[in-house]
Structure 1
């Protein structure tokens, strides 16, 4: 009887773990969407490819990576509660203000318009609600408190950037279009997003949303929500308003394309730069903090705001290491840096002095 009860418990836990997983994985592009992908210069032999050779974690790297993951001495979690700012943004604003909500979720208020990047409000970044990397701090504000959103922009389809529950909440509460790289519209349509709210772009394609011009630009990464990789495109993004410009790297390795982006689309008032979840086992698809500073210089941006750190454990480095290294490199290269607390709204024209708030954690 005990064995039977344990078996039923295990089956119940397994059922909870897999519930909703097929839906969260999304859908493969078909029809005209797939045909448009095949016409992309980035699409070869059935998948999207980077313009430069770039490797991801290889099977031979798994043993060492797992050893470091299980037995490494890095302090991968904050020692106490992460300080949050839970003030909702104002209904209207001028100029350029940026609010980082943790990981890569960012609200940009630019010249009277509001753009939400890579929104993830779930507790885990996983197709399962009970397995996978879990938040290290709460979401600073409810999604409903953000007010009107004019555009929702996704960099690629990994779970820490494209989140099904968040998409469905935005579908219910907002009327904004989703701007996404090629192929990701298949996921959105599978989840109920109407076709007239989906704008799919290839690298260097642009779309206008009100007074804004949003351009998908090159990044060096990969994609995939199931066993198949690179079936959708990944991108960095340019947001150009009447008076201000912002660049978002998305997830990417460092490459010479950033200088080209700076020449074509810069200079920028601010750059949102991925600085976390790097590792020697995947140097081509995530940047180190030092490479993040080099990216700011390449794209000709005035202020660097780091993203892709602090919220989820996705690499073996210590929790504070990305911004500690970033701060040192920014001072060495005389780069303007702002490191907001999750939920803190930054006026890019007058960014706060970096105070090292994370070091106590």
Structure 2
């Protein structure tokens, strides 16, 4: 960590100059009054449409690349015969407490115990909505490697993951998953870290790029808009799937979170590609309406040449095949969530 050019002697820092106008100087961090008032539109009126992906996972993707959004920034990526799980969070709250803090709108569409064998877990940074104690404790019982940002491995080891299964990366560092052609690279992001007041920026934050022989996938983690995305495109692109955060933003946080408008600008800097919005529809972490990011993208889609993917929770999609965009979130009040599967059933002959 101390050898990293991002380490200033005491903590990690963003080294790229912040772009102008990202943060509204006239807006301050939300007050407690703002946080606890007008909460009606911050959560859906009923269960969101969802589906169990287990039956789909029994067969490999026809194109070799498939993604299943399971909520917030948790995505199961199937890439050329391997399964990669991003920022896995199955806990009921994005909080250090089981009693208070942002609560999930509804359970994950598939139980953690029902997941098929996972080849790799990637974790972008250590915030509670990306690194969940109970989830890691359960995954620690599996023989699966973890790739994460510098310093985050200390959390994993403390929670039961064997040190030999933890790979920490600085920006532009890469790790090749043994006996596969999958290369994982940590790339720049404009964000921060910490799980308590005293550990601000004690660990690194990163975006993540997955590269196989046939496909390339970009995962933003959390970030504000930065022209470093152009460098990522030049060094690691082009991408067959781009996952960018679109929710939980605020004018005072514009330099640390994208929101849907800046996500489209980031997508352009990355060179385009099928775009799967993440970091929305799961927790109320900001002041905007829970569905505002989705409505913005739905309105913007006809004016763009890019392919926006808006699957239901638990709906597997193949970027080369799936072209539709359906405002399923508008059916929240009339939907009864499908039951959550409890056990992985491998296909038998």
Q: Same fold (TM over 0.5)?
A: yes
Match of 2:128 in 1: 159
Match of 1:321 in 2: 292
8 Å CA contact 1:346–1:352 kept in 2: the answer is: no
C-alpha displacement of 1:251: 0.2
Give the secondary-structure state (helix, strand or coil) at the position aligned to 2:140. Answer: helix
Give the secondary-structure state (helix, strand or coil) at the position aligned to 1:301. Answer: coil
8 Å CA contact 2:94–2:103 kept in 1: the answer is: yes
Match of 2:346 in 1: none
Runs of 4 or more off by more than 4 Å in structure 1?
Answer: 53-58
Q: Which has the higher contact order (CA 8 A, sep 6+)?
A: 2
Question: Which of the pair has more CA radius of gyration?
Answer: 1
Distance (whole Å) between structure 1 residues aligned to residue 39 and residue 202 of structure 2: 36
Match of 2:28 in 1: 61
Give the secondary-structure state (helix, strand or coil) at the position aligned to 2:84. Answer: strand
C-alpha displacement of 1:145: 1.9
Greater CA drift, 349-358 or 240-249: 349-358
C-alpha displacement of 1:74: 6.2
C-alpha displacement of 1:136: 0.5
Give the secondary-structure state (helix, strand or coil) at the position aligned to 1:354. Answer: coil
Give the secondary-structure state (helix, strand or coil) at the position aligned to 1:115. Answer: strand
Match of 1:307 in 2: 278
Q: Which protein is richer in helix relative to its size?
A: 1
Q: Deviations over 1:82-115 (max 9, x none)?
A: 1111131524524100000000000000011110
After TM superposition, the structure 1 = structure 2 runs for residues 9-158 of structure 1, keeping only pairs within 5 Å, are 37-53=1-17, 61-62=28-29, 64-72=30-38, 75-88=41-54, 89-91=56-58, 93-94=60-61, 95-158=64-127
Give the secondary-structure state (helix, strand or coil) at the position aligned to 2:118. Answer: coil
Q: Deviations over 1:105-138 (max 9, x none)?
A: 0000001111000000011111111221110021
8 Å CA contact 1:217–1:261 kept in 2: the answer is: yes
CA 1:139–1:74: 2 relative to 1, 3 Å? same
Give the secondary-structure state (helix, strand or coil) at the position aligned to 2:168. Answer: strand
The reply to whether residue 212 of structure 1 matches residue 191 of structure 2 is: no
Distance (whole Å) between structure 1 residues aligned to residue 24 and residue 161 of structure 2: 33
8 Å CA contact 1:293–1:330 kept in 2: the answer is: no
C-alpha displacement of 1:73: 6.8
TM-score normalized by the length of structure 2: 0.88
| Number of residues of Structure 1 aligned to a counterpart in Structure 2 | 322
TM-score normalized by the length of structure 1: 0.85
C-alpha displacement of 1:312: 0.3
C-alpha displacement of 1:53: 4.8
Unaligned runs of 5+ in 2: 333-349
CA RMSD of aligned residues (A): 1.9
Distance (whole Å) between structure 1 residues aligned to residue 39 and residue 99 of structure 2: 26
Distance (whole Å) between structure 1 residues aligned to residue 31 and residue 69 of structure 2: 30
Greater CA drift, 122-131 or 217-226: 122-131
CA 1:190–1:97: 2 relative to 1, 3 Å? same
CA 1:192–1:70: 2 relative to 1, 3 Å? closer
8 Å CA contact 2:2–2:9 kept in 1: the answer is: no
